[in-house]
Amino acid sequence: MEFIESGLHFRFGEGWVIKKYDAHRFYQGLSGSGLKGVDFLGILGEELYLFEIKNFRRRHDWQADNPLNTVLAQPAAFTESMAYKVEDTLLAIDAIW
């Protein structure tokens, strides 16, 4: 099965179970409460993987700055936003499990 996120294409092997988390009905029910979420949840065997996809290419004419330069200028802000997404995703999984 192929997934598209941020203009990038992803294909996972047969052993994977992949859910587009931020489009899933459980996340949609919680998203109005200010929670953030990763893009995909993946299960391979007994392991859970969280995927947050970032495409740092300039994809739109209106983008004046290169997105990668923005992240490199303030890496702490980027890592903090990623940490919040992971934390909120794990809290939501715990709440619905």
Dihedral sign, Cα of residue 28, residue 34, residue 40, residue 44? negative
Mean pLDDT on 36-49: 93
CA 31 to chain centre: 14
For residues 18 and 40, is the Cβ–Cβ distance under 8 A? yes
Q: Note the pTM of the prediction, 2 decimals.
A: 0.78
Secondary structure letter of residue 44 according to DSSP: E
Tell me what pLDDT residue 29 has.
Answer: 67
Mean pLDDT on 89-96: 85
The whole-angstrom separation of Cα 34 and Cα 88 is 9
For residues 18 and 3, is the Cβ–Cβ distance under 8 A? yes
The helix or strand, by DSSP H or E, that contains position 76, with its residue range, turns out to be helix 75-96
Q: First and final CA of the chain: distance in angstroms?
A: 25
